A and B are shown apart, each in its own frame.
Chain A
C-alpha cells in the first residue's frame, strides 16, 4: 500500500544476487517527490545495483520494490554505445520519449550543451557526453530521476553548476531523485537523506546523522566525517584571536 501520496519508489528489504554472490542485500529506502536521496559507499558496495533494483532493471530480486510512477529518467554510470549507429545528440534526446524541439533545446541549454545538438554522439568528450545524458534524463520531465554518478568527467566549475541544476530540478519539477555520488561535498549541499551502503545499508539518515555514525566513520575515515559535518556546523561560538572559545 502506498502510505503517502508523495511516495514514488520504495524498496523493502531488497537484494540482488548474481552468480551466487550477493551484490547487495537487505536494502530498504524510499524516495519521495521533491526529495533527494543519495547513496554513498565504497566501490563495489552495491550503489549501482541498488539503483537498478529501484528502476526495475533487475527482475529476479529478493524483497520487493513498490513503484508509483512510470515517468522515469535515468543516467547510468556506464553506458556503452555502439558506434555502428549513426546517432546525433538530437536523435539521442528522442530515444525514449517524443519531445518537441523546444523541450530538447531547453534541456540541452540547462546542462550547457545546446550547441552540440547536431553533433555525432561519438565525437563528444566524456564531460560533454555526461551533460547530454543528464539533459536527456531531465528533458522528459520525469517524476523519478536516477542519477548514477551524473557528473563524472565534468570539469570542476561544471560539476558545481550541474549539482545546483539537479537541486533546482528536484525543486521545480517536484521530482524525486536517487543520486549516487562519490563526492561527499556535494552530498551535503543538496541531499535530504543519505544512505550509506556497503553490501547492505550500514547507516542512513540526514547527512549530519550519517556523518556522526561510527560505521560511516569506519568506512570512510574520520576526515570524511569532518567533510560532512562541516557544512551543517552551526556556530554557537566564535574563536578569539588566541583560540579561546567565546560563547555567542
Chain B
C-alpha cells in the first residue's frame, strides 16, 4: 500500500517528534524560539561543509550549530548589543555564508528546497538510525538535567541557591538544541525546525495545567502532526516539512477552540 520511502519518512518523523516534544516545551518556557531559529539557520553552513569535506551531515550540522551557540554566548558577554540583534546577526550571516559557499560548490547539485523545507524522499536508513540513536541520547541527557534545568527555568536564583548548578544545565541544553537541529534537518528542513519545536508545545500549553502534561501533550501533538502531515503530503504531493508544520498549526487551532469551550462551560 505504501512505498518504502513513505514508511521510512514516517518512522523518521515520529522519531523526531518524540524529541522535539519535550525540547519544544523548554524552548517556549525559556523563550528560546529565536535562538532555535538562529541555530537552524546556521545549519545550512553545516550542510555545505558536510558536502565539501564529505562529512556526515548530522555531525557537521551539530558541530556548526554548537559553534554558533558558543559564539553567541561570547558575543553576549563582550558586546552591549541586545540579545535579539545578536541572534539576527548570527542567523542571517550564517545563512548568507552558507548560501555563498554553495555558490562555490558548483560541482555538487544542491536541492536547496529540500534543505530549506525538508525532503521525505531523501530519508534513508542511516538517517533513521541517526534520528533514533541521536534522539535517544538527547532524551536521556534531558532527563538527567531535567531537575536543574526546570528549576532554573522557574527561578534561576532558587536553583543556584539550593545547589542545582543551573549554568551547567543551561550549557548542556544548548548542546541538545544543536543536536535536535542536526538530526531533524533532513526531515523538516532548516526553515521549519523551530516550528516543529514550538507549535506542538504551544498547542500543549493551551490544554495543560502542569509541566509534565505539557510535555506529554507536546509529544502527542508532534506525533499527530507528523502522521497527518506526511499523509497529506503524499496525498497532495507537497513538501514534507511544510505539510507537517501545517498539520501542527491545525492542531494548535483546535487547541484554541478547546479553550473557548472550556471557558464557556465554566461560566
Q: Do they bind each other?
A: yes
Q: Is the CB of B155 within 8 A of A81?
A: yes
Which residues from B are CB-within-8-Å of A80? 155
A87 CA to B209 CA in the complex, in Å? 7
A84 CA to B211 CA in the complex, in Å? 10
Partner of A79, one of B150, B158, B162, B212: B158
Shortest Cβ distance from A97 into B: residue = B162
Q: At the interface, yes or no: B153 with Cβ under 8 Å from chain A?
A: yes
Partner of B31, one of A57, A84, A90, A120: A84
Q: Is the CB of B205 within 8 A of A72?
A: no
Size of interface on B: residues with Cβ below 8 Å to A: 25
- Nearest chain B CB to A33 CB, angstrom units: 18
A55 CA to B158 CA in the complex, in Å? 10
Q: Is the CB of A76 within 8 A of B155?
A: yes
Which of A88, A91, A92 neighbours the largest number of chain B CB atoms within 10 Å of its CB? A91
Partner of A87, one of B28, B161, B211: B211
CB within 8 Å for A56 and B161 given contacts A79-B155, A84-B29, A85-B29: yes
Query: Does more than half of chain A's interface fall in helix, strand or loop, or is it mixed?
Result: loop
Shortest Cβ distance from B153 into A: residue = A85
Q: At the interface, yes or no: B208 with Cβ under 8 Å from chain A?
A: yes
Q: At the interface, yes or no: A86 with Cβ under 8 Å from chain B?
A: yes
A56 CA to B212 CA in the complex, in Å? 30
A79 CA to B156 CA in the complex, in Å? 10
Partner of A86, one of B157, B158, B208: B208
Contact surface of A with B, Cβ cutoff 8 Å: 52, 55-57, 70, 72-74, 76, 79-82, 84-88, 90-92, 95-97, 120, 140, 146
29 A-B residue pairs with CB within 8 Å: A55-B161, A57-B160, A72-B162, A74-B158, A74-B161, A74-B162, A76-B157, A76-B161, A82-B31, A84-B29, A85-B29, A85-B153, A85-B154, A85-B211, A86-B205, A86-B210, A86-B213, A87-B154, A87-B210, A87-B211, A91-B210, A91-B212, A95-B150, A95-B158, A95-B159, A96-B147, A96-B158, A97-B162, A120-B209
